[in-house]
Amino acid sequence: MKALCVLLFLCLAVCTANAQNSDAKIDYQVWVHVKDNPRPLKGALIEVQDSAIRIVQRVYIRKNSIVSTNASMVVPVSSISKIQVRKKGKVARGVLLGALGGMAVGAIVGYASGDDTCPPGSWCLFQLSAGDKAVIGGVTGIGPGMALGALASSGKKTTIINGDQTLYTNARHQLQSFVNQRQ
């Protein structure tokens, strides 16, 4: 009984220690294109204000969590040309689904082509069964499927601001849905 109480106490202590974690989980990546700067600011959107946005740059993101929100930067609307957003892990998921789809299509095409037959009295070098063709088709379908999956999922949601407060105000509700919340 004593061991059970100690085990329960340790379990509760670990759970409460994890509940105190103030890291924000990164769900969306953001690229903020600033006027007069050819390189976008890359990171996570953490706040959408009336006349500015607050982001944490990638340098301060470790293991899908924000290390320090004190290192955030406020970007005024007047200096923003456009904001691009993409869900984190979207490209990897697209590559995986593309590989699975390419493998399935290749296997179906290989199996549908049927068995090779060799006429009697002739010599055949390659004679493959439908199962062999399905395996070969599945393996060769992975590469093109991955490429198509990466291409299809690499898009970003773009919001044009051009330093205009009214465009920003119209897009503010949509941008609010991309804010990375504290967990």
DSSP string, 25-86: B--EEEEEEETT-SSPEEEEEEEE-SSEEEEEEGGGEETTEES-GGG-EEEEGGGEEEEEEE
Provide DSSP, 72-140.
-EEEEGGGEEEEEEEETTHHHHHHHHHHHHHHHHHHHHHHHT------TTS--S----HHHHHHHHHHH
Residue with tokens 């789809």: 101
The model's pTM is 0.68
What structural domains and CATH numbers belong to the chain? 23-88+156-176 (2.30.30), 90-153 (no CATH)
CA gap 50, 44 in Å, rounded: 18
Indicate the average pLDDT of the chain: 83
Residues 136-162 pLDDT 10s? 999 999 999 999 999 999 999 999 999
Distance, CA of 141 to CA of 111 (rounded, Å): 13
Cα separation, 155 vs 168, whole angstroms: 21
Query: Tens digits of per-residue pLDDT, 46-58?
Result: 889 999 998 888 7
Please tell me which residue, 11 or 138, carries the higher pLDDT value: 138
Q: Are the beta carbons of 78 and 163 closer than 8 angstroms?
A: yes
The token duo for 65 is 């969590």
81-130 pLDDT, tens per residue?
999 999 988 999 999 999 999 999 999 999 999 888 888 888 888 888 99
